[in-house]
Chain A
């Protein structure tokens, strides 16, 4: 309900004026192997809009770390230690891991 009201107000307001505080979701992002090297770090806190999905998070990451773009097609993600194939909405405190092609054994 609150969201509905906020939207209506936004439509009626002048452009560029932000009403209230947009709800954000904080996700812990882990990067491994080639992804870690390309991004230059193994762990980041990502703040995304409420309702964002894992795919949105990956898009945000590749924007922030352009070097990751070269391996975007081969990236698989895990949310809270489970592989996911279709995008899933992220929640506050989730752990999202960027899994480049694995090579254990």
Chain B
């Protein structure tokens, strides 16, 4: 049975190969695989988004992902976890983040998958810039802002 050391956590500069990450969590003992796909939107507050650019503090991002996976494994009985985040320019409609979780029973993978994406948005140091036809903005996740206010 897979455990934490087999978790696949990657920051990539190319399109996300989702099949690869689903295969990474496949297991004969798994009754369920839950996946989350985050895709890039073309509008924000009626403004047309031309493209999105992602950057990361890579070594810390991987460490934070590991911490999140440990938290998830402490809370749910999981078999495999795979998380991939894409960097650089991501065209509209493509995947920016992908999560796959396997477990014996579906509720554990469903609940932990939601936890993983919520935690990723709250603490993994990755940034997104939305470029509009006029201007650009560095986005700020509400999940991060709420937590830093609590912490301060």
Q: Which A residues lie at the B interface, using CB under 8 A?
A: 30, 32-34, 74, 76, 78, 81-83, 85, 97, 99-105
Contacts and interface: CB of A to CB of B under 8 A. Distances in A.
A32 B121 contact: no
B60 A104 contact: no
Contacts, number: 79
Contacts of A34: 127, 138
Query: Interface range on chain B: under 10, 10 to 19, 20 to 34, or 35 or more?
Result: 20 to 34
Interface of B: 38, 54-57, 59-61, 63, 85, 96-97, 117, 120-121, 123-129, 138-141, 144-145, 148, 151-152
Contact of B57 (A30, A85, A101, A103): A30
Nearest to A36: B55
Given A30-B57, A33-B138, A78-B57, A103 B126 contact: yes
Interface centre among A74, A85, A105 (most CB of B within 10 A): A105
Nearest to B54: A104
Given A32-B57, A102-B126, 20 more contacts: A30-B57, A32-B127, A81-B59, A85-B151, A85-B152, A99-B125, A100-B127, A100-B140, A101-B141, A101-B144, A102-B121, A102-B123, A102-B141, A103-B139, A104-B124, A104-B126, A105-B38, A105-B96, A105-B117, A105-B141
